[in-house]
Amino acid sequence: MEYRLLGRSGVKVSELCLGTLTFGWKVDEAHAHEILDAFTGNGGNFLDTANVYNGGKSEEIVGSWLKGREREEVVVATKVRFRTAEHQNAVGLSRKHIISSVNESLERLQTDYIDLLQVHAWDPLTPVEETLRTLNDLVRSGKVRYIGASNFRAWQLASFIEYSRHHDLEEFISLQPQYNLLTRATEYELVPYCRRERIGILPWSPLKAGILSGRYTREMGEPPEGSRLRRRFERGMRWPWNDEGEYVWRVVDLLKSMSGSIGKTPSQIALNWLLRNPAVTAPIIGVSSGEQLSEDLGSTGWKLSDQQMRELDDASTIFVTYPYDRDTDNQQVRGRESN
């Protein structure tokens, strides 16, 4: 496992972050602790959770694991923004909600500080100033070490960065967007902006709910029982067994044929494609078993060749519209200086 500086900060994180969305849902506490032990045993030091994952159970499970361990050895990221209770103020990025949510997260995590507090999404109601001054106070108080954002559009991120800079407040050092071989619109604005500002990108859903592992096929017609996609399918989302499917299956077919020729699995190739992007600090892997974790850890320690990167870029390329088609070349859109 290699370590990278998180954005402009001096804190070092492992090149893979372990996501904990499945903890307290698909993965019980004992099993989650085994996964956390295996991840850290292989050099991982970076964990991602959120105040709302499984009603707080994910944070609780991370907290019970942290207890008795050397707290300084891990970098714990969590989030605030989404609804935690029914009342009027149990949501958003107001001073009131951020402070109560952080206090609750600290209790569940059984720690006295959060390494990276991420605002989970934009809040159209709260002024940027109120949110940033609250986050700044939390850093000053020692409850939070660094701040980041998630699911922002580039102009939203820029408005926070500019405000911090002009008022000498803490700046976001990371962005957590969805980013994977099937979600490349992230490259239009977010990737070039984050590179310019040295904001570390932490891609969520790096395997697109498991599709990029190659375990789903067009012939299945629907996702099998117990899989992540099944839940969505039952709520009416037919993707990728619908008109959009051809793009998906083209990318999956390439991952499978490349897997046959280079001896790495489709998941490992899809993760390595992200790891090779200099804008990316650490993809956030999500797993529901120790076997999946071992396989995903095998995405590190080797590199796709330039030719393989080009093939993956070409198969997954998306329609580039104005003004992005005005770039002198496509490299800026892809967020890379070269493949």
Ligand X SMILES: NC(=O)c1ccc[n+]([C@@H]2O[C@H](COP(=O)([O-])OP(=O)(O)OC[C@H]3O[C@@H](n4cnc5c(N)ncnc54)[C@H](OP(=O)(O)O)[C@@H]3O)[C@@H](O)[C@H]2O)c1
Instruction: Give least dist CB 122 to ligand X, A.
Output: 12
Which residue number, 229 or 254, has a Cβ lying nearer to ligand X? 229
Of residues 186, 106, 92, 202, the one with CA closest to residue 145: 106
Catalog residues that contact ligand X under the rule CB under 6 A: 19-22, 26, 48, 150-151, 176, 204-210, 213, 215, 227-228, 267, 284, 286-288, 292, 295-296
Residues in CB range of 123: below 8 A, 6 or more apart: 81, 92, 93, 94, 131
Q: Smallest gap, in angstroms, from Cβ of residue 187 to ligand X?
A: 18
Nearer to ligand X, 1 or 320 (CB): 1
The distance of closest approach from Cβ of residue 23 to ligand X in the complex, given in angstroms and rounded to an integer, is: 8
**In this complex, which beta carbon is closest to ligand X, that of residue 11 or of residue 21?**
21
Nearest distance, CB of residue 286 and ligand X, angstroms:
2
Q: What's the rounded Cα separation, in Å, for the pair 111 and 75?
A: 12
Least distance (Å) from ligand X to the CB of residue 26? 5
167 or 230, CB closer to ligand X? Answer: 230
Residue 294: count of CB within 10 angstroms of its CB: 12
Between 50 and 333, name the residue whose CB sits nearer to ligand X: 50
Burial label for 70, CB within 10 Å (0-12, 13-18, 19+), is exposed
Q: Do the beta carbons of residue 120 and residue 81 sit within 8 Å?
A: yes
For 68-132, what is the HEC assignment?
CCCHHHCEEEEEECCCCCCCCCCCCCCHHHHHHHHHHHHHHHCCCCEEEEEECCCCCCCCHHHHH
Active site residues: 53
- Is residue 48 exposed (0-12), middle (13-18) or buried (19+ Cβ within 10 Å)? buried
